[in-house]
Amino acid sequence: MVVLPLMPYILGLDVSTTASKALLLRHDGKVAGTASAPHDHSMPHPLWSEQDPQDWWHATQTCIQDVLAASGTHPAWVVGVSLTGQMHGLVMLGKGGIVLRPAMLWNDGRSTAQCDRIRALIGLERLVKITGNDAFAGFTAPKVLWVRDHEPDVYRQVHQILLPKDYIRYCLSGTYATDKAGAGGTLLLDLAERDWSKEIIERLEIPLRWLPPTYEGTAVTGTVTRPAAEATGLVAGTPIFAGAGDQAAQAVGVGAVTPQTWALTLGTSGVVFAPCAQPRTAHQGRAHAFPHAVPRLWHIMGVMLSAAGSLAWYRDTVADGQNYNSIFSLANGVAPGSEGLVFLPYLTGERTPHADPHATGSFVGLTRRHTYAHLTRAVLEGVAFGLKDNLTFLQEAGLPPPVELRLSGGGAKSEVWRQILADVLGVDLIPANVTEGAALGAAIAASVGLRWWPDVSAACQSIVRTGEPTRPGANQIRYQALHSRFASLYQHLKPYFAATHP
């Protein structure tokens, strides 16, 4: 029996750090439903961060089945699947797609020595000229070298290297592929050419055959296989689109698809994302420059590793698991500056602008007069100051200021935190009213591939909705001085950070 669709749907899948997520986008641009299933996360040694790729696949099966059931969507109505997910991770597969070791994640900082070797082999200037980036411990290429150095038995078995979302693509389609935006985060892509750099790959002695073909986000990369259909409930033969790495997909999901509109994401990590009409790089590659999910567009972004992740740590370890509304209410009762208390949000090292995996989180200026409420506000302010560092760094790279700054992410739901951010950044913040922005962005890319809209910009204009802006208030001037104090602390503490990681 053929079940005719009431309306065609696209399924956006997001393999994030904390969960796999599914979103159904209808042909009229409305979200029909979302679902998620959590992942475990392992940090077996200092600086290590790993996950089992099989956990992603099991969670993906669950959230696909859940979103179809909860929305009453027949699988035959799903006309396309698109993927997004955490960037920079390393999945190593042997022959037959066997997972050889736990995936090393974006916030894994063990490969500092390999980053130094990459700079020595290629030269920093040449590395930035080709890839747009310096070597960061979180990127994929240094992780590959780390495995070669420390796990030679694993390295000898490698048949394919994939990013996290592309492992799910393989599970769904049996094909190896990746998107160009996500590939940019490996340190193996030629930024201007939007494809693998043979020079970099040869200098690092990584076999090119290990890397999957790259595709623009709107392109088809394969179809759902019969075994995957049986595992997920989807229909065999459903096309699978390239999608994008999570930050480029999130930018599409909030409508940051022109150089005039930037995106600020307050998620586990914090990101300031600036689209560019041509490849742009920061001084010494200290901000990340990758292709955008939008064809013929690039982006440069600043990334802090522990944004809302800092608040999650604080809730779980200091606030004893209190709900976030109570935490925000406490912070709102404390004056700006937290009476001299400063929080440095470097809980998993820092990416931009310091590029220091050995940096650690700190409370500075504690006295007996400080209370639990002061600690709470200091965490919110410290994250805002870190994002200010990134916004300033991008503007110092020569980018014109944005006409709009779109705000999204779990932390953006807090009115208190939004106001702190607006005051610290000194700009209007326009909330993007989206659910699971990265999954939505992936689905939007597929909708263009299916010719629902002529291009990504037109699709975003039809789908993305924004709310009332949060504007800087009376505390803006005070926060300018407080940020200067925050910014000076890293340089003062850097020798201590280095000494704790000999």
30 contacts: CB under 8 Å, gap ≥ 6: none
Which residue is it, tokens 């505390």?
Answer: 475
Q: Where are the alpha helices (DSSP H) in 218-274?
A: 226-232, 246-254
Structure tokens belonging to residue 490 = 């890293």
**Residue with token string 């709009």:** 404
- The first and second tokens of residue 393, run together, are 């760094």
What is the C-alpha to C-alpha distance for residues 56 and 145, in angstroms, rounded to an integer? 24
Active site residue 108: no
For residues 74, 78, 81, 82, the Cα torsion angle rounded to the nearest 10 degrees is -110
Catalytic residue among 108, 179, 246, 356: 246
3-state helix, strand, coil in the chain (%, to 5): 40, 20, 35
CB 175 within 8 A of CB 93: no
Both structure tokens of 315: 């809730």
CA–CA dist 178, 170 (Å, integer)? 10
Q: Can you spell out the DSSP letters for 55-116?
A: HHHHHHHHHHHHHHHHHT--GGGEEEEEEEE-SS-BEEE-GGG-B-SPEE-TT--TTHHHHH
Catalytic residues: 246
